[in-house]
């Protein structure tokens, strides 16, 4: 894609999303309930995306690969093994902040 203001419509209509391991891309896709293959760019220095991708894979939410293994991942993937991503609970964070700042 060229730059778009939002991928929301594309995500809603997608059957499968293949993305880099940026936190925003991963979370937005998973929160939309879409299966996700995360392609790690192992050429990035201090690749922080690797940690997120590997943890999401260990937790069973995504399939993870790099550019050289993407075709094999697509051929062998079993999307039924992926777990649904749990919904966020922002109210818990708000309660935590209230407690930390003494508003309770």
Radius of gyration of the chain (CA): 16
Which domains does the chain carry? 7-93 (3.40.50.2000)
- pLDDT given for residue 45 in this prediction: 63
pTM for this model (two decimals): 0.81
For the chain, 104 residues long, the average pLDDT of each consecutive 10-residue run is 84 95 92 96 75 94 95 97 91 89 84
């Amino acid at each position: 894609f060229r730059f778009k203001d939002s991928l929301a419509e594309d995500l809603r209509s997608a059957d499968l999303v293949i993305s880099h391991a940026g936190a925003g891309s991963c979370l937005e896709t998973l929160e939309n309930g879409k299966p996700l293959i995360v392609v790690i760019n192992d050429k990035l220095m201090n690749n922080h995306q690797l940690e997120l991708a590997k943890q999401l894979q260990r937790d069973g939410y995504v399939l993870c690969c790099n550019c050289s293994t993407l075709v094999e991942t697509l051929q062998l993937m079993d999307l039924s093994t992926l777990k649904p991503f749990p919904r966020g609970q922002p109210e818990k964070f708000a309660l935590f902040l209230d407690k930390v700042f003494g508003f309770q």
